[in-house]
Amino acid sequence: MTFFKPWIAAAVFVLAGAAHAQTAPLYQSLGEKPGIAALASDFVDRLKANPRIGKMFDNIKPAYLKEQFTDQFCELSGGPCKYDGETMKNSHAQLAIDKAQFNLVVEILQGTMDARGIPFTAQNQLLAKLAPMHREIITVE
Ligand code: HEM
């Protein structure tokens, strides 16, 4: 009887594969935590650089916002994270955001994902999860 049992190695391999498959496909397509952190960082930089809405982000620490987006996108995509920031309603209540501004932010996120080579289907899946937040975020006509 040898110590190495090929069937045990095979079973470990199969179980490891099964455990990996449990993390959501969208989370994987976004590049898991490192990919999402890089996306969030790039996204905040682009928001701040935007001539139409960049100034709105002057009073929030970019590093904090990057962290919040990372946790939020990670959790929404099925990753092992928990968003613990403010609610979308509270954090945007005083900003008088209209539909055009909301659409612009979505467009900037889409452009950021495109630039980072995130597959089109994954882009759409993430945007579909964010779209319903318009009800909490848009407060003016
Ligand atoms: C789907 C769209 C959006 C999502 C998912 C989103 C998400 C977030 C998150 C997670 C935070 C951090 C909340 C916290 O303080 O813990 C935040 C804050 C903020 N968002 Fe948004 N946001 C969206 C749209 C917008 C739009 C359209 C604007 C303005 C044009 C905007 C401007 C801001 C600003 C200025 C803050 C910082 C508020 C503060 O000073 O605390 N957001 N957002």
> Is residue 141 predicted with pLDDT exceeding 80?
yes
Q: What is the mean pLDDT of residues 53-77?
A: 98
The answer to the question of residue 3 being in a domain is no
Q: What percent of the chain is helix, strand and coil (3-state, nearest 5)?
A: 70, 0, 30
The answer to the question of residue 9 being in a domain is no
Question: pLDDT value at position 97?
Answer: 98
Q: How far apart are CA 107 and CA 133, in angstroms?
A: 15
Question: pLDDT value at position 23?
Answer: 74
Pick 87 or 11 by higher pLDDT.
87
The answer to the question of residue 117 being in a domain is yes
The answer to the question of residue 93 being in a domain is yes
> Is residue 2 predicted with pLDDT exceeding 90?
no
Give the chain's domain count.
1
The answer to the question of residue 17 being in a domain is no
Q: What is the mean pLDDT of residues 40-62?
A: 98
Ligand 1, CB cutoff 6 Å, lining residues: 53, 56-57, 59-60, 65, 68-69, 72, 85-86, 91-92, 95, 97, 101-102, 105, 130, 133, 137
Pick 130 or 17 by higher pLDDT.
130
Question: pLDDT value at position 46?
Answer: 98
pLDDT tens digits, one per residue of 7-43: 666 665 555 555 555 678 999 999 999 999 999 999 9
The answer to the question of residue 18 being in a domain is no
The answer to the question of residue 78 being in a domain is yes
Q: How far apart are CA 20 and CA 18, in angstroms?
A: 5
The answer to the question of residue 92 being in a domain is yes
CA-based nearest residue to 130, from 22, 45, 30: 30
> Is residue 45 predicted with pLDDT exceeding 90?
yes
74: CATH: 1.10.490.10
Which residue's CA is the nearest one to ligand 1's atom 38? 91
120: containing domain: 25-137
Q: Out of 36, 66, 105, give the residue to mutate to test ligand 1, the one with the largest number of ligand atoms within 8 Å of its CB.
A: 105
